Amino acid sequence: ILVFASCLSGFGLYSLVHKARKHRHSMVYHLKNAITKDEFSIVFQPKIRLSDSMPVGVEALVRWDSHALGVVRPDVFIEVAEKYGLIRKITHRVIDLSMAQMQATLDAKPDFTLSINLSIQDLTDLSLLPFILAKAKQYKIQHEQLVFEITERSAGDSVSLSDIVKQYTEAGISISLDDFGTGYSNLAWLGHLDASEIKVDKSFTQSIGTDSINQTMLDAIFSLLQRLNVVRVFEGVETQEQADYILQYCPQAIVQGWLYAKPMPIDQLQSYLSQTTNGLGR
Ligand code: C2E
Ligand code: MG
Ligand code: MG
Ligand code: MG
């Protein structure tokens, strides 16, 4: 009976692994066709200056509504795209779509910024910066209105990235270190990369007011951030308590989160902005 049971569970595990692999392969297959089938769209989440609650920019977030698979979350398919060499095409598509949709808003508000997420593979793609500059020209967007957020999902060489980052900042484009407080060598990054912005990960924001162990880390991060000459963004702000804490320890902070606004399509964003900038907002 024992042998029989272990055979069965062995087979169950095998079929699970097999299923997962098959699933990933079908996702790769459908991802390859997603661009030509126009299955990607962009939503924009406002970035709010905490001291006066004014929206100062947006972050573009990609959405994939696959005809074959339904809605797939970006943190799932971006990782697959990175692994199977499909990320660059997706990034180009995201840049084109989000710049085209934000063109009018950026033109009307010269201090407003558009943030776009990149993966490390994008940053080391030497054709990306020329592509970005050409798109900025096409849509008449000032370089100073563009921010690119990079997430470190795998251990990498921060020293070799610093030259690339320099090319962006010399062109007037800002680089933001996303998901700060997670990942592999954030402190090494801070030392080497000429980033203009740091985004503290939502896991830290959301540990505010809880008795989780991250409280000590949070205090340390706040005091570290206070010494750096960068724009400080806190993502994932969901409660007033979190906002009050951030305001107390980092009065210059920019915040992003469901307490203020969820990511939304461009038409909703435009009516949101016309309300908030007329003083009708929170
Ligand atoms: P991220 O860049 O750190 O984006 C923040 C994520 O937190 C977004 O999830 C956003 O919708 C979510 N969020 C915002 N406010 C709150 C809040 O108050 N509470 C909670 N719980 N969540 C909040 P989303 O859109 O699912 O994106 C997940 C990740 O996928 C992003 O994390 C980013 O790493 C990646 N991603 C999204 N779009 C792109 C893209 O166009 N290119 C690349 N390379 N990566 C992207
Ligand atoms: Mg981001
Ligand atoms: Mg983030
Ligand atoms: Mg994140």
The ligand whose atoms approach the alpha carbon of 71 most closely is 1
For the segment 12-22, the average pLDDT, to the nearest whole number, is 61
User: For residues 218 and 213, what is the distance between their CA atoms, to the nearest angstrom?
Assistant: 9
Q: How far is the CA of 180 from the centre of ligand 4 (A)?
A: 9
Reported confidence tier of residue 153, pLDDT bands at 50, 70, 90: low
pLDDT digits 0-9 by tens, 166-196 = 999 999 999 999 988 776 556 777 777 788 9
CA 7 / ligand 2 centre spacing (Å): 45
Lining residues, ligand 1, CB within 6 Å: 45, 61-62, 73-75, 78, 94, 117-119, 149, 151, 178-179, 202, 235-238, 256-258, 263
Point out the ligand 1 atom lying closest to the alpha carbon of residue 73: 26
Alpha carbon nearest to ligand 1 atom 30, residue: 75
CA distance 262 to 221: 25
Query: What residue owns the CA closest to ligand 1's atom 2?
Result: 117
3-class secondary structure per residue, the chain: CHHHHHHHHHHHHHHHHHHHHHHHHHHHHHHHHHCCCCCEEEEEEEEEECCCCEEEEEEEEEEEEECCCEEECHHHHHHHHHHCCCHHHHHHHHHHHHHHHHHHHHHHCCCCEEEEEEEHHHHCCCCHHHHHHHHHHHCCCCHHHEEEEEECCCCCCHHHHHHHHHHHHHCCCEEEEEEECECCCHHHHHHHCCCCEEEECHHHHCCCCCCCCHHHHHHHHHHHHHHCCCEEEECCCCCHHHHHHHHHHCCCCEECCCCCCCCECHHHHHHHHHHHCCCCCC
Report pLDDT for 185.
Answer: 54
From ligand 2's centre to the CA of 18, what distance in Å? 32
Closest atom of ligand 1 to CA, residue 42: 41
Lowest pLDDT segment from 25-29, 79-83, 84-88, 171-175: 25-29
Q: Which amino acid does the sequence have at 177?
A: L
Nearest atom, ligand 1, residue 118 CA: 44
For 99-135, the pLDDT digits (tens) are 999 999 999 999 999 999 999 889 889 999 999 999 9
CA 159 to chain CA centroid, nearest Å:
22
Please give the torsion angle defined by the CA atoms of residues 90, 94, 100 and 105, in that order, rounded to the nearest 10 degrees.
Answer: 180
Contact 257, 208 (CB under 8 A): no
Cα gap 183→153, rounded to integer Å: 6
Q: Which protein residue's CA is at the shortest distance from atom 42 of ligand 1?
A: 117
Shortest-distance ligand to the CA of residue 98: 1
Reply yes or no on whether the pLDDT at 21 is more than 70. Answer: no
Q: Is pLDDT of 264 > 50?
A: yes
Least confident piece of the model among 74-78, 124-128, 152-156 = 152-156
Tens of pLDDT, residue by residue over 190-206, are 777 788 999 999 988 88
ipTM of this complex? 0.98
| Protein residue whose Cα sits closest to atom 11 of ligand 1 | 263
pLDDT at 203: 87
Q: Rounded to the nearest whole angstrom, what is the distance from the C-alpha of residue 183 to the centroid of ligand 1? A: 15
Mean pLDDT of 212-234: 82
How remote is the CA of residue 199 from the centroid of ligand 3, in Å? 6
pTM for the predicted model, two decimal places: 0.90
